[in-house]
Amino acid sequence: MAIKRFYSEDKFDRRYCDVCGKALPGSYKGSTCADCKDDALYKEVKEFILHNEATELEVADKFDLPLDTIRRWIREGHLSYKGQKGME
Ligand SMILES: [Zn+2]
């Protein structure tokens, strides 16, 4: 029997995030970690809002995201709506 050099978790099919290289949980679906997935989604949402007149409700619906997440991104200054230019 071969000596295990790493953790016993290695008996599971260990996978790593395609983007940041972080180890993914064995049961995890997908090839990027939750953080990177979030990041990729955020970029998609940002692009969408830049090029479309959409309310946060429409964005939530389109991307199947909780309204809270979208509002948080907006609050953190990541996103802004075309319609809110006058509020600067
Ligand atoms: Zn990652």
Which tens digit of pLDDT belongs to each residue from 73-82?
878 865 666 5
Is 64 among the domain residues?
Answer: yes
Stronger pLDDT, 84 or 43, i.e. the higher one: 43
Total number of domains constituting the chain: 1
pLDDT at position 74 is: 77
Question: Rounded to two decimals, what is the model's pTM?
Answer: 0.62
Distance 1 CA to ligand 1 centre (A): 33
Pairwise CA distance, residues 27 & 63, whole Å = 24
**In this predicted model, what pLDDT tens digit does every residue of 46-60 receive, in sequence order?**
889 889 888 889 999
Distance 74 CA to ligand 1 centre (A): 22
The reply to whether 74 falls in a domain is: yes
45 found inside a domain: yes
62 domain residue, yes or no: yes
Higher pLDDT, 46 or 88: 46
On whether residue 13 sits in a domain, the answer given is yes
**Residue 21, domain extent:** 9-87
Grouping H, G, I as helix, E, B as strand and the rest as coil, residue 23 is: strand
